[in-house]
Amino acid sequence: MLELKPIAHRGITLIELMVTVAIIAIIATVAAPSLREYIVRRDIIRAATELQNLIASGITESSSRRHLGATNSSDTLLIVDTSRNVACLTTNNQTDCATGYLRIAPSKSCSACTVTATVDGTDTANVRITIDRRGLLNFGGGNDVALTIANNSNYAITIHLNRLGVSRMCTPTGKQPLGEVPVC
């Protein structure tokens, strides 16, 4: 009778390695567009959340000045400069975001993002929102402000503000929905 000797495996063959690399390449090719879209959606949501948090910080700060008894201090001013894609909190005696003490640039979170602003449906380049010590917003005579953060693709988020300081985030009609953000 013939005696079979066990064959010792010393590793993987070249064919096994090539098949593994081919499978990984196919998976990467299929997954890359989905990953890119996920990153774009996440960046827009992050930029919109930062802007919404900046608005909330301004309202909180104005209200806290009132409760601390600061009667002669200036109101807080939220400036949204759409030409430079920047927003900041400052006081009434300062005129732009160069001297603002709390500043965000949505373009840092979302490099391809742009910010547009409308007051009562009219596009405007710069929005100056005064937040008084009661936490009420003054848009310079307007009743509603919509700040839209969008990128080059089909994604955007609009933040609607009313005079009471209530903000609502939604996806504009005609844009692709962004998961947990409702459609306007």
Q: What is the pLDDT of residues 79-105, one digit of tens each?
A: 777 777 777 777 656 666 666 556 666
Instruction: Output the domain CATH number for residue 140.
Output: 3.55.40.10
Q: Residue 74's pLDDT band (boundaries 50, 70, 90)?
A: low
Domain membership flag for residue 81 = yes
Q: What is the mean pLDDT of residues 129-143?
A: 78
Domain membership flag for residue 7 = no
Domain membership flag for residue 183 = no
Domain membership flag for residue 35 = yes
Q: What is the mean pLDDT of residues 24-52?
A: 87
Predicted local confidence at residue 1, as pLDDT: 59
Q: Is pLDDT larger for residue 101 or for residue 149?
A: 149
Total domains in the fold of the chain? 1
Domain membership flag for residue 114 = yes
pLDDT more than 70, % of the chain: 80
Break the chain down into helix, strand, coil percent, rounded to 5.
Answer: 30, 30, 40
Domain membership flag for residue 184 = no
Domain membership flag for residue 176 = no
Determine the structural domain holding residue 22 and report its residue range.
14-170
The answer to whether residues 122 and 56 touch, using CB atoms and an 8 Å cutoff, is no
Q: What is the mean pLDDT of residues 115-122?
A: 82
pTM beyond 0.75, yes or no = no
The answer to whether residues 58 and 167 touch, using CB atoms and an 8 Å cutoff, is no
Q: Please determine, for residue 18, whether its predicted confidence score (pLDDT) is greater than 90.
A: yes
Domain membership flag for residue 175 = no
